Structure 1
């Protein structure tokens, strides 16, 4: 009996419009350590203009292609049954005016949110009370507490999001990156469930 061909679909792939997707692009292959190199270039799918931005390739399509080429070889399939192929469109330069407008809106909105929160919890009165407890003096504007506190908010946000501009502080993902990862997983699951044409078939 011949050595089985082991294959595992990758979860996601990004290609250019009109690209030819090969077996090695969408699958991890193992077949006796050497023979998989010969079938890695097997064409599985040709990206067409009507495909849109996302394509779903099912493992059954891959098996069909392999059976045409290797009808007698046993197959061992591992992992997910589908892969999402994203068609990457040409990158467009951002509109600096729009980016600036969004930045200003977000800056003002976040500033108002922080100020409203501090008003709700009476932060000024808390600082005044702390200043009195530490120094024994009443001060309507305890800047010795307010300035370090304000700087601490900025430093805390940098540590929380684990980024200083484009530089990552450590290898641990930030909460925002985790949320984006979970969101992407949910979007991928939606496409796999509702965009797969095989799932849309019903019995007559």
Structure 2
């Protein structure tokens, strides 16, 4: 039996377009240095279509190693597929478009908050609290409304754990957790849908 090489596919790998896909780009390889170097530089293929994401199965990796190095003994662990993503140049964001989207989101969020407060009669509640504490009626109890407005903004900042690009602690924010769950479901969908289509995205050398 030949020397053993341990291979663990990465859950997600990123490559550049129009460049050959090397085994070391999509997997972690364990073994003697000389063996891991030559196995890691093994070319699996290259892109043949304008696809941004495709699935590569471990059987393709094992078959490629077996064809080039039949004397090696291989053992795999970890994921059985890896999601390969092509890194393409991102278009610059238009400042005008960014401002327009920001204004739409800002106005939409403002209307949502105001409609919610109107539904729960927040103004009437503040007026009643002011009367209960001071014994006087006021249609504009700013002593409650101003701190409440400031606290609402601070509460949103603390809830999302972000102020611009700065985080207050290492805990993920609810938005990050939702984005992570969405990415997990998207990856699972790609694996289920394109599990038998990966070979059409690669050209053998």
TM over 0.5: yes
TM-score (norm 2): 0.90
What secondary structure sits across from 1:75 in the alignment? strand
Cα offsets for 1:102-141 (capped at 9, x unmatched) = 1111111100100010011110111111112222222211
- Specify every segment of 5 or more residues in structure 2 that has no aligned partner in the other structure, as ranges: 199-205
Do residues 109 (structure 1) and 108 (structure 2) align? yes
Q: How does 1:121-136 map to 2 (within 5 A)?
A: 121-136=120-135
Q: Larger relative contact order (C-alpha < 8 A, sep ≥ 6)?
A: 2
Partner of 2:73: 74
What secondary structure sits across from 1:163 in the alignment? coil
Partner of 1:18: 18
- How far 1:189 sits from its partner (Å)? 0.9
- Specify every segment of 5 or more residues in structure 1 that has no aligned partner in the other structure, as ranges: 200-204
- How far 1:57 sits from its partner (Å)? 1.1
Partner of 1:143: 142
Is the CA contact 2:15–2:25 (under 8 Å) kept in the aligned structure 1? no
- How far 1:161 sits from its partner (Å)? 1.0
User: What CA RMSD, in Å, does the superposition of the two structures yield over aligned residues?
Assistant: 1.9
Number of residues paired by the alignment? 199
Moved over 4 A (4+): none
TM-score (norm 1): 0.90
Q: How does 1:1-204 map to 2 (within 5 A)?
A: 1-32=1-32, 35-48=35-48, 50-197=49-196
Question: 1 CA distance for matches of 2:113 and 2:58?
Answer: 50
